[in-house]
Amino acid sequence: MRKLLDPRSILKLSYFYTTYQYLVGGIRARRLFIENDARINAGEKVLDIGCGPGDILRFLPEVNYTGCDINPKYIKTAREHYPQYDFHATSIEKFKLKDPQTFDVVITTGVIHHLNDNQVKTLFNLAKNALKPEGRLVTFDGCYIANQNPISKKFLDMDRGNFIRNEKEYVFLAKQYFSDVKTKIDETYFHIPYTSLIMECKNNS
C-alpha cells in the first residue's frame, strides 16, 4: 500500500514553506525579530545559519550577507531571488568559513530546535569563530515555559523540530561558547499562539 505523505515533508519545498510561514505569522515574526532583536545596521557583515529560501533578506538593510542551509531547494530559491548574495547548500558541520572573526552579526531563526545538543554545539562554535570580537549571535526558536498556553504548547509539540527546549536548556548550551547571554521570551510575534525565545550571545573573548 502506498504510504501516506507526511504533510511536514511538503514544507521542504520553498513555495509551501514560505506560504505556511505567511499563514502562521512566521514572516511577520522574522520581521519583528530583525527590527527588535537582531538590530542589524547597513554595511555590516552578516552570517545567516539556516537561511532557508532567504525570506529574511526583505527585512535587512544593505549588508554583506552570507547564508547557508542544508536544504538545496531552499538555497536554489534564495539564489534565484537574491543573486547578489552568497549562499551555500551545506550542513553546519561541512560549512567552510572563509574569513573567520570578520562577521558583525550571526543570526539563526528557527534552527536550534531542529538540532541535537552536539549539532547545537557545532553551530555555536561556528558562530563564535565567525564573529569579530564583541560580535553578536542572535537566535530565535520555539521554547517551552512554565504555565504555557496549552495551544502554544500544542503547536510546539507539532513542530518539525524535535529538540524544542526550555529557556534554561538553551542558555546552558549557549554559555559553553559565549559568556554573555541575554534572553527574551515572546508570545506575540506569530499570528498563532506560539512561545519564542530570543537569545543574544556576545563574543567577549
Q: What is the CATH number of the domain that holds 188?
A: 3.40.50.150
Which phi and psi (to 5°) does residue 10 adopt? -60, -30
Cell of 73: 531547494
Question: Does residue 28 lie within any of the structural domains?
Answer: no
DSSP one-letter code for 62: S
Per the structure, how many domains does the chain have? 1
- Per-residue pLDDT reduced to its tens digit, 93-106: 999 999 999 999 99
Domain of 96, in residue numbers: 45-202
The answer, yes or no, to whether residue 3 has pLDDT greater than 70, is: no
Question: Which pTM does this prediction carry?
Answer: 0.88
Question: Does residue 141 lie within any of the structural domains?
Answer: yes
Q: Within 13 Å of residue 5, how many CA atoms lie on the same side as its CB?
A: 6
Count CB neighbours of 195 within 10 A: 23
Cα gap 96→90, rounded to integer Å = 9
Mean pLDDT of 131-146: 97
Cα gap 50→52, rounded to integer Å = 6
